[in-house]
Amino acid sequence: MPFPNPALNEPFLLTPGPLTTSEAVKRAMLRDWGSWDEEFRAVTLEIRTRLLAMLDAPEGYDCVPMQGSGTFSVEAMLGSFVPKNGKVLVLSNGAYGQRIAETLAYLGRAHTVINKGDYLPPRGAEISAALQADAAITHVVAVHCETSSGILNPLKEISDAVAAEGRTLLVDSMSAFGAIPLTGVRYAALVSSANKCIEGVPGFGFIIARISELEAAKGRSHSLSLDVHAQWATMNKTGQWRFTPPTHAVVAFLEALKAHEAEGGVAGRNARYTENRDVVVAGMRALGFETLLVDDWLSPIIVTFFCPASPAFDFTRFYELMKQKGFIIYPGKLTVAESFRIGCIGRMDAAIMHRVVQAAGESLATLGVNDASPPQSALIERAKLAAKE
Ligand SMILES: *Cc1c(COP(=O)(O)O)cnc(C)c1O
């Protein structure tokens, strides 16, 4: 499994999906498939089976693939599992939490939000308090890794708080599933998509849900195409997707799942991504960069760095210089300070992350930045918020 593919002179995507895929995944797309054909139906069944096999406790769960980007699957999950008279508590600490609240507004589902700002984690005690204060809340939606800051939210703690109050947990595990274990987490449903930690190409997502929840979702969805129960029932009956599946993306995903298993499953993937993160964080800190998050909350998925305070630093030029050296980085999404992000996921290993750090150092030198440390104000803001946590 070569990491970079020397035959392809394309940059590495240090982004949280689409991301850099293996040559085998790309090659799997060189054949056309009939969506109704038995061979393709077998592929669909195999990906569902392999995804369930990644769970610590798959008994009582089933997996439903859904066309579209990850957001389509989040919307499908919310519309299918939250009853029209339900009420949702959204745990938000970034753009994806906000998107969940926005989706619920579209769906006309009552909801309330614990908003932790840009990068503080929702904690068990505040969730318990919110649930005790409002008996109407039926469901809690959590984001596993909030990709906008890279924070790894304490999902087990969240799950314990939700279960203790007898409510139902739904999880956006988009950028975590397949690389972060779900040990001890009690959830009714979670979603992820093809182009994140399994390292497939974009085109579909999947919902993993308790079978009892799938059964209860019949007739509930606001949407024909995003009806999880209907997709599940049809797939179980005919082996087919209800509407045209992204066939090439699906067969590429099976290839990606085989590589995931060969790497040692969730534990193997977690180990590689963690090493990628450790190399990039240590290297960038040695250049003077600072991470937005303290070490405890850093995920092995994506890391946010403050932009240097130096007036010689210009993000657009830095981005272009990094791209010329073969690395596509990702702009930041913070309100508190200028920042950028470096993804640790995709077909990349520690050797490549060392090259990323080297490229960052060279790019700083070209810009004439000799100190990459962030503005003092960003660090003060970070310390103030962290103290509140
Ligand atoms: C990627 C991602 C999504 C889905 O984004 P799409 O652009 O629709 O694929 C949702 N939630 C999180 C946390 C993500 O990282």
Residues 173-204: pLDDT tens digits?
A: 999 999 999 999 999 999 999 999 999 999 99
Helices of type H across 288-349? 315-324
Residues 329-352: pLDDT tens digits?
A: 999 877 778 999 999 999 999 999
pLDDT score of 159: 98
How far apart are the C-alpha atoms of 212 and 188, rounded to whole Å? Answer: 9
CA angle 137, 142, 146 (to 5 degrees): 150
Per the model's pLDDT, the better-predicted residue between 107 and 334 turns out to be 107
pLDDT score of 8: 61
What is the rounded (10 degree) CA torsion for 187, 99, 21, 355? -110
Q: Which architecture, in CATH terms, is 9-17+265-387?
A: Alpha-Beta Complex (3.90)
Question: Which residue minimizes the CA distance to atom 4 of ligand 1?
Answer: 70
**Confidence band, pLDDT 50/70/90 cuts, at residue 389:** low
Q: Which residues of 357-368 are buried (b: 16+ CB within 10 A; e: fewer)?
A: bebbbebbeebe
Question: Which residue minimizes the CA distance to atom 12 of ligand 1?
Answer: 174
* 70 CA → ligand 1 middle, Å: 5
Helices of type H across 153-198? 155-164
pLDDT score of 386: 74
- What are the residue boundaries of the structural domains of the chain, listed by start? 9-17+265-387, 23-262
Residues 55-93: pLDDT tens digits?
A: 998 999 999 999 999 999 999 999 999 999 999 999 999
Starting at the earlier edge strand, list the strands of the sheet with 339-343: 302-306, 339-343, 330-331
Question: Residue 189 in 3-state DSSP?
Answer: strand
Q: Hey, which residues does 61 pair with through a beta bridge?
A: 210
Residues 357-373: pLDDT tens digits?
A: 999 999 999 999 999 99
pLDDT score of 139: 98
pLDDT score of 46: 98
pLDDT score of 198: 98
Pocket (CB within 6 angstroms of ligand 1) = 16-17, 69-71, 74, 96, 143, 147, 172, 174-175, 193
How far apart are the C-alpha atoms of 25 and 31, rounded to whole Å? Answer: 12
Contact 204, 245 (CB under 8 A): yes
**Confidence band, pLDDT 50/70/90 cuts, at residue 4:** low
Q: What is the mean pLDDT of the chain?
A: 95
Nearby residues of 17 by Cβ (< 8 Å), 6 or more positions away = 70, 175, 193, 195, 196, 202, 345, 346
Q: Which atom of ligand 1 is nearest to the CA of 147?
A: 15
**DSSP secondary structure code for residue 386 in this structure:** H
pLDDT score of 39: 97
The percentage of residues in the chain with a pLDDT greater than 70, rounded to a whole number, is 97
Nearby residues of 144 by Cβ (< 8 Å), 6 or more positions away = 152, 153, 155, 171, 172, 173, 174, 175, 176, 177, 180, 190
* 361 CA → ligand 1 middle, Å: 30
Task: Say if pTM beats, i.e. exceeds, 0.85.
Answer: yes
Residues 241-278: pLDDT tens digits?
A: 999 999 999 999 999 999 999 999 999 999 999 999 99
* 177 CA → ligand 1 middle, Å: 12
Query: 23-262 adopts what CATH topology?
Result: Aspartate Aminotransferase; domain 2 (3.40.640)
pLDDT score of 1: 43
